[in-house]
Amino acid sequence: MQTLDILERLIAFPSVSRTSNRELIDYVTQVLSEVGVTCELAESEDGTRTNLFATIGPQDRPGVMLSGHTDVVPVEGQDWNGDPFELRRDGARYYGRGTADMKGFVACAIRAARLAAGRDLKTPLHLALSYDEEIGCVGVRRLLDALGPRSILPALCIVGEPTGLRIATGHKGKTALRATCTGHASHSALAPEGVNALHLGADFMACLRARQTVLAAHGARDTAYSVPYTTLHAGIMQGGRVLNIVPDHCTLDFEIRNIAADDPAGIVAGLVEDAAQITKPYAARHPHVGIEIAETNAYPGLDTAQDAAIVALLRDVTGNAGPAIKVAFGTEGGLFHHSLGIPTSVCGPGHMAQGHKPNEYIDSYQLEACDEMLARVLDRLEVGL
């Protein structure tokens, strides 16, 4: 079974985040069982989605884990030239939702797992496939819970997000938060008697922008990133129902993407103080007015040392002797490293510039190069790390 055969099947599963990936995982389980590989599942609470974990080779020692996610971003509102869930070839490019992010790597990893089953590995190969990564590395946490108590964990991890097969040793952490603004409703003709929750939200957004300006101008730097400082971003603001009522409720969803030198908790503490200052003038007359900030999701950054064993392995199997990079997007790599202590790097086929867009694609030579990289990984595992 070739990578393109597997990729064609994977693309045909519309495994958009928050929807079931069971049919996709059932397919992977089947193609691995054909070569004698047993898969373990770590399901979501409602049983509609699941992670997959498999070990190929000796079970009594740690090996190298290939990690990827099975969910993709939605296609609604995008102008595609064909069916997003049908793999199409045009010249040297393969089009379809998830080709770059990141079913291309997943297909290569499944093929590698099938090949590994026919080899006498001294060190095992692990395969980890997760769900709901695109909404904040949500699904993989169920897999972390399952793996955490084990005495034997993978020794090294390759997260196959698209890097053009360059070795990435870092990405920023992400903290997603919601500011809930509570005002005081009134008739709009008597607006000064009320407290407009949208105005509270706007004042809070101004504080976000002010703190972003300070971070950009004076904050810590990591020049390996294209945006070398911690960022604050407001993504969703909602409030109000009709024009002639002063709204008493507003929510603002925002995020912090921090470099390793910055502590997001300290930034949040500053924003809590900002919120208190915004609402302080209303305390005497409207003590219920306030801005509450709550974390909705978070995952840690990744900052792997340049001389780590996983980096050395990837240099060997890719032939890439150049400097490692850091990527703008997040991955489950930070969770594997921080929660389970598994040294991790990101390296996979394709480019994120082609992901999340209409007519997403991956170049054929990237898939071929990834197959070659994973073949060299198997060669290493056959003689032992």
Domains, the chain, with CATH or none: 3-171+302-383 (3.40.630.10), 173-299 (3.30.70.360)
Q: How far is CA 78 from CA 71, 176, 329, in A?
A: 17, 25, 21
**Which segments within the chain are labelled E, that is strand?**
39-43, 50-56, 64-69, 88-90, 93-95, 125-130, 156-159, 168-171, 173-182, 186-187, 231-239, 245-246, 249-258, 290-299, 302-303, 325-327, 344-346, 361-363
In the block, which residue shows the tokens 């740690």? 62
Q: What is the pTM (predicted TM-score) of this model? A: 0.94
Mean pLDDT calculated for residue range 71-77: 97
**Stretch 302-329: mean pLDDT:** 94
Cβ contacts of 109 within 8 Å, gap of 6 or more: 66, 68, 127, 160, 374
Q: What is the maximal distance between C-alpha atoms in the chain? A: 80
Give the confidence band of 322 by pLDDT, cuts at 50, 70, 90.
confident
Provide the pLDDT confidence category of residue 385 given band limits of 50, 70 and 90.
confident
Mean local confidence (pLDDT), 184-209: 97
Peptide bond into 205 cis (omega under 30): no
pLDDT over 90 at 321, yes or no: no
93-151 tens-digit pLDDT? 999 999 999 999 999 999 999 999 999 999 999 999 999 999 999 999 999 999 999 99
The yes-or-no verdict on residue 369 having pLDDT over 90 is yes
